[in-house]
Structure 1
């Protein structure tokens, strides 16, 4: 298992940033490697379950995301199931008139992808992916001002 984590300041209130990332369509808009999201279902805990296709180094990885934790304006946790397994956690904290957004992902790279992509490359790829996603969220709110 590998873990990557990054934090960024978003120039918008916590409730707006949480609301934006609570919409699966917005994840497609800000996460470069998400190629598809389908079959979104709302769960009793306020979270969602959905099917997705994620591309890692050009390899499509189909799977399911289940939001196991949905704490409005505080935290979201997603369990990744399928060819790419692990967990994604988003934390939201008020900071300097905006939001401190932390994105952490723990994942296991499937063997067929690992054979095509060396482990250090895959880690750097995921770090870049995570950083780009956070920067895209930040830019979305900067442009909304």
Structure 2
């Protein structure tokens, strides 16, 4: 019995680093997922806003998101941790009769697609993937005269 007194301390010392690594991975994974949800909501909100704004505001929002202007991006997303850097892009397009799509300017577009791609900000965090799956949302663009007709 005398020689086994330190057995539990040795076992605890062997298991503790593995346990802490698992806990750290779960915490970082949860924070990364929270950022991902924030950015996916931002993509959806940006696509919706672009589709219903008047042409001047629509053009400014598209330009701000395509250049990843910090103020424009922050208008839609302010993630908790900023573990991932989101790169936004906006693609206005028309659908042709044959089903193909033609990229056009935002004021003559029928649809707008907002997309965000994610790259890990700090490459020292090895428990997280370097990139996340891109988020994309497509919305039909309302014409300015349709909005004016619906307003009282």
TM-score by length of 1: 0.34
User: Which of the two has greater helix per residue?
Assistant: 2
Give the structure, 1 or 2, with the largest relative contact order (CA under 8 Å, sep 6 or more): 1
- Between structure 1 and structure 2, the one with the greater Rg is 2
